[in-house]
Amino acid sequence: MISSIDLIALAWFFSLWIGYTLFAKKRAKLVSCLSFELRRKRTDWMRKMLSRENNMPDVGLISTLERNVAFFASSCLLIMAGLITAMSSAEQVNAMLTQLMPWSTSTASGVQLKLLLLTGIYVFAFFQFTWSLRQYGFCGVLVGAAPDGRDMTDDDKQLYANRTAKVLDQASHSFNYGLRAIYFSLAGLSWFIHPLLLIFATVLVVVVLKQREFHSAVLKALREC
C-alpha cells in the first residue's frame, strides 16, 4: 500500500517536471536562452548552406546529430530491459534495499511501483529520442533537396532557411525532452531511499536545468558569437 507521503512526493515530482517544461517553453519566447540562441544559429546555418555548392558538410553534421540521438535511444532500450528484469526480482531488490537502509519500510510491491515509474520515464524518453531521430532525417532530406541559392532571391533564401531551421529546431526540442526525462529519472532514483529525498532531488534537477538553459556560460558564449 502506497503511503500518503509517497503520493505527495509523486505528485510533486510530476508537477515540477510538467511545470518546468511549460515554464521553459513559454520563457524561451521572452528571454534569451539556449533554445532561442540555437534557433538563431540554425537559421544562419541553413542560410549559409544555400550559398554552398557542396552540401556534404551539412549532411555530415546532421548525420552526427542523428548518431548522438540514436545512442540515447538505444541506451533507453537497454535500461528498460534492465528495469523490467528488476521488476521480476522485486523481493530480492527490496531485501537488498532493506539491508542497505535499515530504516526503510518499503515492500516488494512498493519497489515494483518505483521501478514502474522509472520504466515509464524511459519509455517516454525513447519515444522522444526516436521522434527526434526521424525529424533529423527529415531535415537531411530538406538539405539534400535544397535549391541552388545562386538562383534564389534573398527573400526566398530566408524563407527556405527559416523552414528548414524550424524542422531542425523541432528535432532538437524532442531530443531535449528526452534528455530532460533522463535528468528527472535520476531524481526518481532517490524515491528508493525516501519520498522526502525525491521531493528535494526533483527541486535540485529543476534548479540545474534552469541554470543550464538560462544562465550558463555556454549561453553567454552563444550570445556573443
Residue with cell 540555437: 38
Positive or negative CA dihedral for 184, 186, 192, 198? negative
HSE-up of residue 11 (Cα within 13 Å, Cβ side) = 7
CA 212 to chain centre: 13
Residue 65 CB neighbours (<10 A): 19
Q: Confirm if 78 and 126 have CB atoms less than 8 A apart.
A: no
DSSP 121: H
Local structure of 105: helix, strand or coil: coil
State the amino acid at position 137 in one-letter form: G
Query: Alpha-carbon distance 34 to 36, whole Å?
Result: 6
pLDDT for 93 equals 83
Query: Alpha-carbon distance 204 to 61, whole Å?
Result: 33
Query: Alpha-carbon distance 1 to 7, whole Å?
Result: 11
pLDDT for 1 equals 59
Burial 91-104 (b: 16+ CB within 10 A, else e): eebbeebeeeeeeb
**Structural domain boundaries in the chain:** 34-48+56-202+212-224
pLDDT for 174 equals 96
Task: Name the nearest CA neighbour of 51 among 116, 147, 170, 137.
Answer: 147
Task: Name the nearest CA neighbour of 67 among 143, 180, 175.
Answer: 175
pLDDT for 99 equals 83
Q: State how far the alpha carbon of 202 is from the alpha carbons of 38, 83, 153, 187, in Å.
A: 26, 21, 50, 5
Coarse DSSP helix, strand, coil percentages of the chain, rounded to the nearest 5 percent: 85, 0, 15
Query: Alpha-carbon distance 136 to 194, whole Å?
Result: 40
Using H for helix, E for strand and C for coil, what is the string for 110-164? HHHHHHHHHHHHHHHHHHHHHHHHHHHHHHHHHHHCCCCHHHCCHHHHHHHHHHH
Burial 117-134 (b: 16+ CB within 10 A, else e): bbbebbebbbbbbbbbbe
pLDDT for 68 equals 94
> For the chain (length 225 residues), average pLDDT per consecutive 10?
87 97 90 90 90 84 93 96 90 83 79 94 97 94 85 86 93 96 96 93 97 92 87
